Structure 1
Amino acid sequence: MELPTWDEVLKIAEDFGNETYPTLIAIIAIAVYSGFVFMFYRVLAKKDLITLDLSKYADDFGGKIKKYLRSMLFVVQYIVVIPILIAFWTLVLAAILTLLSNSDDHARNALIATAVVGAVRILAYWTEELSRDVAKMLPFAVLGVFLVDSTSVKWNEFQELLSSLPQLAESFISSLILLAILETLLRIATTIRRIRSKRWKRKRMQKELSRKTGRKVADIKEDIRDDGSLNLSAGADVEELQNVVEDAVEDLLEEANEGL
Structure 2
Amino acid sequence: MEWVATGFANLLEEFYLGITQILPSWAQTFLNLFLWSLLLVIYAIFIWKFYRWIARKDILKLNLSKFNSLDHAVFAKVFGMLIYFIEYLVILPIVVFLWFGGFTLFLMFLTNGLAIESILVISVTIVAAIRMTAYYKEDLARELAKLIPLTLLTVTISQGLFNFNKIIEQIQLIPTFFSDIWSYLIFIILIEFILRILDIIFVAFDLYNEEEVKTEDTIK
1:73 is matched with 83
1:123 is matched with 133
- State the shift of 1:108 in Å: 0.9
- State the shift of 1:25 in Å: 6.2
1:150 is matched with 160
Match of 2:206 among 197, 207, 229: 197
> Cα–Cα, structure 1 residues 113 and 22, in superposed 2: closer, same or farther, change >3 Å?
closer
The normalised TM-score by structure 1 is: 0.61
> Cα–Cα, structure 1 residues 138 and 158, in superposed 2: closer, same or farther, change >3 Å?
farther
Match of 1:62 among 65, 72, 80: 72
State the aligned residue count: 181
Q: Secondary structure at 1:102's aligned position in 2?
A: coil
Q: Secondary structure at 2:101's aligned position in 1?
A: helix
Check the 8 A contact 1:47/1:125 in 2, yes or no: yes
Match of 1:179 among 185, 188, 194: 188
> Cα–Cα, structure 1 residues 103 and 128, in superposed 2: closer, same or farther, change >3 Å?
farther
Answer with 1 or 2: which has the greater Rg. 1
Check the 8 A contact 1:45/1:124 in 2, yes or no: yes
Aligned counterparts of 1:111 and 1:93: Cα–Cα separation in 2? 12
Check the 8 A contact 2:36/2:162 in 1, yes or no: no
Amino acid corresponding to residue 158 of structure 1 in structure 2: Q
Amino acid corresponding to residue 147 of structure 1 in structure 2: I
> Cα–Cα, structure 1 residues 175 and 129, in superposed 2: closer, same or farther, change >3 Å?
same
CA-atom RMSD, angstroms?
2.8
Aligned counterparts of 1:28 and 1:107: Cα–Cα separation in 2? 26
1:102 is matched with 112
1:159 is matched with 171
Q: Which consecutive unaligned segments of at least 5 residues does structure 1 have?
A: 1-17, 202-260
Check the 8 A contact 1:96/1:139 in 2, yes or no: no
Q: Secondary structure at 1:52's aligned position in 2?
A: coil
Aligned counterparts of 1:149 and 1:104: Cα–Cα separation in 2? 12
The normalised TM-score by structure 2 is: 0.71
- State the shift of 1:70 in Å: 0.5
Amino acid corresponding to residue 170 of structure 2 in structure 1: F
- State the shift of 1:166 in Å: 5.9
Q: Are 2:121 and 1:111 aligned?
A: yes
Residue by residue over 1:157-186, the C-alpha shift from the partner in whole angstroms, topping out at 9 and shown as x without a partner, is: 332321324652xxx322221221111121
Aligned counterparts of 2:50 and 2:104: Cα–Cα separation in 1? 13
Instruction: Please give the residue correspondences for 1:8-27 in structure 2 after superposition, counting only pairs within 5 Å.
Output: none
Aligned counterparts of 1:22 and 1:79: Cα–Cα separation in 2? 44
- State the shift of 1:56 in Å: 2.2
Q: Percent identity, aligned pairs only?
A: 26
1:137 is matched with 147
Residue by residue over 1:133-178, the C-alpha shift from the partner in whole angstroms, topping out at 9 and shown as x without a partner, is: 222233212321233333225322332321324652xxx3222212
Aligned counterparts of 2:155 and 2:122: Cα–Cα separation in 1? 16
Amino acid corresponding to residue 80 of structure 1 in structure 2: V
> Cα–Cα, structure 1 residues 159 and 21, in superposed 2: closer, same or farther, change >3 Å?
closer
2:55 is matched with 45
1 or 2 for the larger relative contact order (CA 8 Å, sep ≥6)? 2
- State the shift of 1:23 in Å: 6.7
